[in-house]
Amino acid sequence: KPLCLRMHLYLMLNKPKGVVSASEDKNQPTVVDLVPQNLWRKGLFPAGRLDKDTTGFVLITDDGEFAHDILSPKKHIPKTYHALVDGAITERMEADFAKGVRIGEDFTLPASLKKLSSTPQGDWGEVILKEGLYHQIKRMFSHFSINVVELKRIKMGSLDLDENLKMGECRYLTKEEISSICDK
C-alpha cells in the first residue's frame, strides 16, 4: 500500500467560542484538542492566537518556521475579521484606523476598517490587521468608547476560512492554500 508522508501538517480550524488558542491547558479545551485523531500528530500548535470568545480561522501546524513567517511583524501578513460592535462605525473611525490608533502605551500599525451593515445590536465591520497586539481589535474600538460584541477571523493572507467547515471542524490545507498565506 502506498503511504503519503507529510513532512509538516497544516490545518485550517473553524474555532468556536470557549476554546483557548493553545496546545494544552489544564482547565479549558484547546484548539489542538479539537483536531480529530486521524489528523493529530505530536507537536501541533496554533500559529497565532484568537481570544477565547473569538471565533473563526486558526491555523494549526507543527512547522515552527512557517508559523514564525506568518506571525512575524516584518512580514505583515494581513488577517481579516468581521466584528459586531455595540455602536455606529463612522467615517472618522475608518480614517483613524487607517492612520493607527493609540491603545494604552501602544500605537497600532495602520489598519483597515470598513462598515458592512447595521443591525439593531450595532454595526458590523470588516477589520484588516497586519499585526496582532493583545486584544487589539477590542482595544481599538474601545478607543472610541465602543465594545466588540462578536468577533470572527475570516481570512489569513489571501486564504478565506472554508465556509463548509462547521464550528470545531478542521481540514488539511492544500499546497496552494499554504502558499496563499505566505510565500512558502
Give the catalytic positions in this structure: 51
What does DSSP assign to residue 49?
Answer: -
3-state helix, strand, coil in the chain (%, to 5): 20, 30, 50
What does DSSP assign to residue 157?
Answer: T
Distance CA 84, CA 151 (A): 7
Residue 168 burial (CB count, 10 A): 15
123, 37 Cβ separation under 8 angstroms? no
| Closest C-alpha to 9, from 31, 42, 33 | 42
